Amino acid sequence: MTHPLKLGLIGTGGISRRHAISMKDLHDRGRDGFGVTAVCDVNEAAAQERADQFAELFGSRPTVYTDYKVLLAQEELDAVDICLPHGLHHGVTIDCLEAGRHVLCEKPLGITIKACRLMAEAAERTGLVLSTGVPHRCQPGQRAAHWVFNESGLMGEVRSFFHSYTRPPAAPANTSAPVPERVRWRRNRLMSGGGPVLDSGFHYCDSMRYFFGGLDTVYARALNAGGSFEEAPEDTVFVTLTFKSGVTGSWTWSLAAPGAPARNVTFYGTQGSLRDTTQTPFAIFHLFERRLGEREDGELQTSDGKSYSMAELEQMHLDSLSADARERLFPGGADDGFSIEIWDFLEAVRGNRSGPEVDAWGGLYSLATGDAIYESITTGDVIKVDDIISGARSQYQDPIDEHWGIQ
């Protein structure tokens, strides 16, 4: 495909604004040949606002729609970027694929494993690209951490990790004010698929799979301690994770722990440790997070007394790459995860790579960790993640599938 790619954006709420900024970042780096020509949201004001943003950034205003089926019927588009609430991902994605459009879908790919499977099968049936949006594994810090664990040999063989985070509950909301829609749908399990474990936690589940490969088992307990997520299934979670590679880790956090906040995010190998010291409360979900204009922070310490900063590790990782690999992982020198994931998708659509970094099956496997956590919370059992992937265990997900009529 050599012509400039025409994209549609469906769902123009919070995160779509960030997608627009990253598309501009790509253009500024000479990674262009694409543009958003149509936007769609049931909230027309939100769609108009996003169209204004594109006009300001790129000098041309996309056409505004309030019904994605009309957009699909009227617009000549190569691909669609979907930024909708989780329960809508599968239906809209499958409609877009059936209408001949490649799809980049925000995380989590589908609301349940069965929903993801339907999406993956639709991509295979139509022969089109379906990419799962996972910007955090694309960030330089996580790319460097992946290199440290799997290629550098700097800390020996990774054996374990200890991740914990606690903070006091947010101040009580003004109960007379209406709950914003972006919060309301997240509190409804039938639309969100779950609470923080599946929302921001999806990034964590995907990153763990990126670092250490497939999971073996999960054991989890959750509390709703009455913090800021009063209608969500959990605000406090304790998880033990084991990987097929032999790595064992714990992920424990509370967004409702009174008193002093505390945080520890450390990976241990046979010859050293890597600690994430990035000053962001989201490190427990996003790991080595770099926001625009900020750097990830971290320190690797070896048993023989050497230490490396995150900046040094990122540079060592870059120096280890061929020119081709550098362009694939950091196109045009991009260091923003959203820019990198969007370019990866576009390159897959153009046929310049065999598929996106995280395709639909990858999205399904990453979701399986989150659903295994909920299955364990629901049943009290240790859960084999393969049983979630195969559908052998689905007590937690069954009511959600039933609600959406997913077989």
Q: How far is the CB of 50 from ligand NAD (least distance, A)?
A: 9
| Residue closer to ligand NAD, measured from CB, 102 or 393 | 102
**Is 14 a residue that touches ligand NAD (CB under 6 A)?**
yes
Query: Cα torsion at 267, 107, 194, 197 (round to 10°)?
Result: 10
CB nearer ligand NAD, residue 70 or residue 325: 70
The answer to whether residue 41 forms part of the interface with ligand NAD (CB under 6 A) is: yes
Q: How far is the CB of 110 from ligand NAD (least distance, A)?
A: 10
Query: Is residue 85 near ligand NAD by the rule CB under 6 A?
Result: yes
- Residue 367, interface with ligand NAD (CB under 6 A)? no
Per-residue mark of binding to ligand NAD, 140-179 (x: CB under 6 A): ----------------------------------------
Tell me the number of residues near ligand NAD by CB under 6 A.
25
Provide the mask over 184-203, with x wherever binding to ligand NAD is found by CB under 6 A and - wherever it is not. Answer: ---------------x----
Binds ligand NAD by CB under 6 A, chosen from 51, 72, 79, 83: 83
Structure tokens at 245: 């590679």
Q: Whole-number minimum distance, CB 14 to ligand NAD, in Å? A: 3
**Residue span binding ligand NAD (CB under 6 A) among the ranges 81-89, 250-258, 290-298, 379-387:** 81-89
135 binds ligand NAD (CB under 6 A): yes
Residue with CB nearest ligand NAD?
13
Q: Could you tell me which residues come within 8 angstroms of residue 239 by beta carbon, excluding any fewer than 6 positions away?
A: 218, 219, 220, 250, 251, 252, 373, 376
- Per the CB < 8 A criterion, the answer to whether 233 and 224 are in contact is yes
Q: Which one of 5, 8, 13, 229 is in contact with ligand NAD (CB under 6 A)?
A: 13
Residue closer to ligand NAD, measured from CB, 53 or 273: 53
Q: Does 130 bind ligand NAD (CB under 6 A)?
A: no
Pinpoint the alpha helices (H) of 255-384.
283-286, 310-320, 323-329, 337-349, 360-379
291: contact with ligand NAD by CB under 6 A = no
Stretch that binds ligand NAD, among 26-34, 41-49, 72-80, 245-253 (CB under 6 A): 41-49
**Contact between residue 301 and residue 310 where contact means Cβ atoms under 8 Å apart:** no
- Tell me which of 34, 68, 204, 210 binds ligand NAD, using CB under 6 A: 68
Contacts of 203 (CB under 8 A, 6+ apart): 107, 134, 136, 137, 285, 286, 287
- Edge-first strand listing for the sheet containing 130-133: 63-65, 34-40, 5-10, 79-82, 102-106, 130-133
Radius of gyration of the chain (CA): 21
Nearest to residue 108, comparing CAs of 340, 371, 329, 327? 371
In whole angstroms, give the CA distance from residue 15 to residue 269.
Answer: 36
Residue from the set 106, 206, 289, 335 that interacts with ligand NAD by CB under 6 A: 106
Residues 6+ apart with CB under 8 A from 184: none
296-355: contacts with ligand NAD (CB under 6 A): none
Q: CB 136 → ligand NAD: shortest distance, Å?
A: 7
Residue located via tokens 């209408």:
99
Partner residues linked to 244 by β-bridges: none
CA distance 403 to 191: 9
**Closest CB to ligand NAD among 85 and 141?**
85
133 counts as binding ligand NAD under rule CB under 6 A: yes
- Would you say 203 or 393 has its CB closer to ligand NAD? 203
Q: Select the residue interacting with ligand NAD from 5, 7, 26, 46 (CB under 6 A).
A: 46
**What is the rounded distance in angstroms from the CA atom of residue 312 to the CA atom of residue 330?**
17
| Secondary structure (3-state) at 236 | strand
Q: At what angle do helices 201-212 and 360-379 cross, to 10 degrees?
A: 110
* Residues forming the site for ligand NAD (CB under 6 A): 10-16, 40-43, 46, 68, 83-86, 88, 106-107, 133, 135, 181-182, 199
